[in-house]
Amino acid sequence: MEIQKVGVIGAGQMGNGIAHVMALAGYDVLLTDISQQALDAALSTVRGNLARQAGRGKISEADMEAAMARISTTLALADLGQTDLVIEAATEREAVKQAIFEDLQPHLLPHTILTSNTSSISITRLASRTDRPERFMGFHFMNPVPVMQLVELIRGIATDEATFAACKAVVDKLGKTAASAEDFPAFIVNRILMPMINEAVYTLYEGVGNVRSIDESMKLGANHPMGPLELADFIGLDTCLAIMNVLHDGLADTKYRPCPLLTKYVEAGWLGRKTQRGFYDYRGEVPVPTR
């Protein structure tokens, strides 16, 4: 099946990045959100990011304008029923994702493929609540979407080969690399990454090091481009906590227990860059450690 029109649910950081790369690759994109303000902000972000690419000579001005022309927006979720591929990129809460697919289902074309950009939730379980588990899979982009080269493709227990092949063809057309992952909690990247971040928070919690020393140690001692606490702020501490809870609940192993300090930051509303405070305070000109 050839995919031509792509629906993206959620106009946040991931959703606008997905719309960006899809439109640039030649797909018609219909982006939806519950807020017109979020849709307007997403279009502004996409234009800014495309302009940055044009400024660096990676794309032409004509490419930028053509990509923007391929993106349309709607507040009506039902409108996405007329697309060939739907990528859900809403908040990392299973109940929210299930409600979205339930509301969308009556409006879908028979051939429409449903996917979720979830970073940790069971694809099999999400698929089982729809009328097309064989045409449902995980389509997990890395953040920031226009920059990161990897896409995890996750089959649910019922996902058929034609669905996988169609999604793999999309990844290839985007110029990205697909990694096939099995449907276990947090898949590949976050199964490995999140416990490392959680352990960094425990290292802070137990006083082994402060924010700066932990991040500098991993950047200079392990050649990581970002320290784990800096990375957690970039991802969002609420997302990190949600993934750790999925790992802990799904695998029932105490090694995945979220650090109490991570929970405390989330309860305080200090979620990282998006709220201007996390393990660093971003309200000044230079980020300052909060511990």
Whole-angstrom Cα distance, residue 28 to residue 62?
16
Per the CB < 8 A criterion, the answer to whether 15 and 51 are in contact is no
Ordered DSSP codes for 171-209: HHHTT-EEEEE-SSTTTTHHHHHHHHHHHHHHHHHTTSS
Instruction: Say if 3-180 and 190-287 have the same CATH topology.
Output: no
- Residue 85: helix, strand or coil by DSSP? strand
Across 245-265, average pLDDT:
97
Going by pLDDT thresholds of 50, 70 and 90, the confidence category of residue 82 is very high
Give the domain 190-287 fold: N-(1-d-carboxylethyl)-l-norvaline Dehydrogenase; domain 2 (1.10.1040)
- Residue 8: helix, strand or coil by DSSP? strand
223 in active site: no
Q: Distance from CA of residue 274 to its chain's centroid? A: 14
190 in active site: yes
Q: Where are the domains of the chain?
A: 3-180, 190-287
Across 194-213, average pLDDT:
98
Q: Which of 117, 140, 198, 230 is catalytic?
A: 140
Name 262's Cβ contacts closer than 8 Å, sequence gap at least 6.
198, 201, 232, 237, 240, 241, 244
Give the domain 3-180 fold: Rossmann fold (3.40.50)
107 in active site: no
140 in active site: yes
Confidence check: pLDDT of 92 > 90: no
Cα of first residue to Cα of last residue in the chain, in angstroms, is: 53
Ordered DSSP codes for 112-164: PEEEE--SSS-HHHHHHTSS-GGGEEEEEE-SSTTT--EEEEEE-TT--HHHH
What pTM, to 2 d.p., does this model score?
Answer: 0.91
Q: Which of 122, 152, 198, 230 is catalytic?
A: 152
Q: Which of 117, 119, 120, 122 is catalytic?
A: 119
Residue 277 per-residue DSSP state: B
Using the Cα atoms of residue 150, residue 17, residue 248 and residue 122 in order, give the sign of their dihedral.
negative
Going by pLDDT thresholds of 50, 70 and 90, the confidence category of residue 12 is very high
- Residue ranges at the known binding site for NAD(+): 10-15, 33, 92, 97, 119, 143, 274
Confidence check: pLDDT of 235 > 90: yes
Across 153-168, average pLDDT:
98
- Residue ranges at the known binding site: 10-15, 33, 92, 97, 119, 143, 274
Taking all residues of the chain, what is their mean pLDDT, rounded to a whole number? 97
User: Given this model, what pLDDT does residue 1 score?
Assistant: 75
